[in-house]
Amino acid sequence: MTIELCHMALRQTLDLISLTDSTLKDLSRRKFTSDELYHQVLAHLLGGKGRRGPTAIFIALEGPNCTCCSGRVFHLREGEMIERSDVITIEPESSYAISLVRVEGGTDVVPINWKDISGSIEEFQNFFHPSVVRAMGDPILNFVSCRISGGSPGVLVAFNYPGGASEYDADVLRSAAVVIGSLVTVSDEMRETERAFAYTIEALARACEAAEEDTGRHVVRVNRYAGALAANMGFNLAFVEDVSISAQMHDVGKIRIPAAVLLKKGPLNHREMQLIRQHPAFGLEILGDSPRLKVARDIAISHHENWDGTGYPKRLKGERIPMAGRIVKVADVYDALRSRRSYKGPMTHEEALQVFREGDDRINPEGHFDPAVLAAFFKIEGMFETIYDSSVLKIAMNGKKGKANSKQPAPAE
Ligand SMILES: [Fe+2]
Ligand SMILES: [Fe+2]
């Protein structure tokens, strides 16, 4: 191997390591598709100034019956995928399918140049599916093909390395295929775990609703208002997603409050009030110590704190209140105002806005809410109205309107 080739190999290996590293670090957040990953790996490995790479690559995934492949031809220039073909499907019964599916990893990854197996360049084209040849534009002069294994099996076929395909090119492509295969598998599993996580916390939130006989979809709406606020305030997508799914856990601690207290029609006595005020601390305990539930814990413990330090349970003040809790507080109060309670009728959107502007006997907007969250609320109050109204409409369409209106959530105590 020449010094120049050594340098190139080292650079490509380091690129691959840093890409794998950065991808693994935020895998759960990015949830990239296989297609995005192919772009990243291939653009890092096979393109770019000073890098040696093919001019085009056919990336095809196996169909469910493992007999055919479909994918696209991507044209590369200077580290960018500059063009991609329409989807090419290789028919299961064609000889091309057999050769693609049979491409195996390991020693079977061999560079092939037209002179090795064919009398002429024109004849050489016959080895490839006509759609691939068409998508290539220029005649195919050489190629390396390699199998992608793992959860989404397929093949990479790289075409037209300058000066001919070499063993070195085969090694680089094999590395790319291994990285793609393993990252896609890990990513799919992360996605599955994330789905299971979302399902679990939804189930827990539903269990709490059942304890309150809340059929008003209060927690679903609070998720949506909170997500809209966080997005409007310019937080990053990860935080917005976290808040959008964790907000529904705000009252999870109420599961430990006896139904007789939660559903009591008349005013609560001092002891009962004290008990209800323990629900943030109960929520914190229930949510345990998983790092994945950090935002949910922040919300559970702080959604009754007030900006001026007059809230509970810790009487936290200002920025000492976690941001997610400040956001959910606004969402929760809006929904409580709009909903029917045993001690009050439902408010219209305009009446609720009035309370957010001027307060009432229970709410002091300046004292209770973070001014930044309040400003975001006024900016997107129309969205709040739509979220509430469409949710109530959905319940009505399910034929449950009367029931839903009579069983709204307990007060946001
Ligand atoms: Fe609460
Ligand atoms: Fe609530």
Give the distance (Å) from ligand 1 centre to CA of residue 333: 10
Which tokens is 300 given?
């559970």
- Residue 354 in any domain: the answer is yes
Which residues crowd ion ligand 1, with CB under 5 Å?
A: 251
Are residues 182 and 203 located together in one domain of the fold? no
Beta bridge partners of residue 158, listed in sequence order: 57, 144
Q: State yes or no: pLDDT of 242 exceeds 60.
A: yes
Give the distance (Å) from ligand 1 centre to CA of residue 402: 25
Residue 314: domain span: 199-406
- Residue 411 in any domain: the answer is no
Q: Which of 63-72, 95-104, 337-346 has the highest mean pLDDT?
A: 337-346
Which tokens is 137 given?
């534009």
Q: State yes or no: pLDDT of 110 exceeds 70.
A: yes
The residue out of 131, 158, 188 marking a domain boundary is 188
Q: By CB neighbour count within 10 A (0-12 exposed, 13-18 middle, 19+ buried), where does 109 fall? A: buried
- What mean pLDDT do residues 256-282 have? 90
Q: State yes or no: pLDDT of 249 exceeds 70.
A: yes
Give the distance (Å) from ligand 2 centre to CA of residue 246: 12
Q: State yes or no: pLDDT of 214 exceeds 80.
A: no
The string of pLDDT tens digits covering residues 273-306 is 999 999 999 999 988 888 888 999 999 999 999 9
Q: State yes or no: pLDDT of 222 exceeds 90.
A: yes
Share the mean pLDDT of the chain.
82
Are residues 177 and 265 located together in one domain of the fold? no
CB 309 within 8 A of CB 315: yes
The string of pLDDT tens digits covering residues 313-329 is 999 999 999 999 999 99
Least distant ligand from the CA of 283 = 1
pLDDT value, residue 267: 86
Q: State yes or no: pLDDT of 234 exceeds 90.
A: yes
pLDDT, greater one: 199 or 102: 199
- What mean pLDDT do residues 330-355 have? 91
Are residues 144 and 273 located together in one domain of the fold? no
- Please give the model's pTM, rounded to 2 decimal places: 0.63
pLDDT value, residue 159: 92
pLDDT value, residue 303: 98
Instruction: Give 384-387's long-range contacts (Cβ < 8 A, gap of 24+).
Output: 384/225, 384/228, 384/334, 384/349, 385/349, 387/221, 387/224, 387/225, 387/228
pLDDT value, residue 179: 79
What confidence tier does 2 reach under pLDDT thresholds 50, 70, 90?
A: low
DSSP character at residue 198: H
- What mean pLDDT do residues 141-149 have? 87
Are residues 226 and 103 located together in one domain of the fold? no
Are residues 260 and 374 located together in one domain of the fold? yes
Give the distance (Å) from ligand 2 centre to CA of residue 409: 7
Are residues 32 and 64 located together in one domain of the fold? yes
Q: 265 by DSSP, 3-state: which? A: coil
Are residues 172 and 261 located together in one domain of the fold? no
Give the distance (Å) from ligand 2 centre to CA of residue 304: 10
pLDDT, greater one: 297 or 410: 297
Are residues 145 and 293 located together in one domain of the fold? no
- What mean pLDDT do residues 264-270 have? 86
- Residue 350 in any domain: the answer is yes
Are residues 85 and 231 located together in one domain of the fold? no
The string of pLDDT tens digits covering residues 77-106 is 776 777 888 888 888 777 776 666 555 444
Are residues 231 and 90 located together in one domain of the fold? no
- Residue 19 in any domain: the answer is yes
Q: Which helix (H) or strand (E) holds 231?
A: helix 218-232
Distance (Å, whole) CA 329 – CA 348: 19
The residue out of 188, 216, 237 marking a domain boundary is 188
**Cα 9 to the center of its chain, rounded Å:** 34
Residues 6+ apart with CB under 8 A from 267: 343
Question: What CATH number is attached to the domain comprising 136?
Answer: 3.30.450.40
Least distant ligand from the CA of 325 = 1
Q: Based on the structure, what is the number of domains in the chain? A: 2
Question: What CATH number is attached to the domain comprising 347?
Answer: 1.10.3210.10
Are residues 203 and 183 located together in one domain of the fold? no
Are residues 352 and 242 located together in one domain of the fold? yes
pLDDT value, residue 221: 93
